[in-house]
Amino acid sequence: MKNKEKHLLYRDVQDALELIGGRWRGAIMASLCNDPKRFTELKKDLEPITSRTLTKELRYLEQNRLIIAVRGSQAKNAVCYSHSEHGSSFAPLILQLREWAIKHRTIMLEVLKFDQ
C-alpha cells in the first residue's frame, strides 16, 4: 500500500504527460481552446505540422476523449474538431503551462546575462 502510493505519486504525472506530451498534442489542445476548428485551419495554425502527424494526433486525442470530431453527415469533407467536455477541463492547465513557460523564458534570459 505504502509502496503503491509512492508509485502513484509520479505515475499520474507520467500519464497526464503522455496524454498531452510530445511535440503536438498539447499544442493541438491549445489551438482548440478558443474555438472549434477544421482540419485545414488546425494545420495552418500549427504550421509546420504535416498532414500525417496532425491526422495521427487528432485520432489519438479523439480516442482518448479529449476532443470530438464532428464529421458532416452528407458532406464527408467537412470535419469539425473541438474539445470534448473532458478535454475542456484541461484548458485551465494549458493557460498555466503558457504562463509558466513565459516566466521560465524570462528567468533563463536573466541567467544568461548573469553568466556572461
Interacting residues toward a copy of itself by CB under 8 A: 6-7, 9-23, 26-31, 45-47, 64-65, 86, 89-90, 92-94, 96-98, 100-105, 107-108, 111
CA distance 102 to 76: 40
Is-cis flag, bond preceding 36, omega within 30? no
11 binds DNA (CB under 7 A): no
Q: Name the residue type at position 109.
A: L
Judged by CB under 7 A, the residue of 12, 15, 50, 111 near DNA is 50
72 binds DNA (CB under 7 A): yes
The distance of closest approach from Cβ of residue 41 to DNA in the complex, given in angstroms and rounded to an integer, is 7
Looking at the DSSP bridge assignments, the partners of residue 83 are 67
CA distance 61 to 116: 44
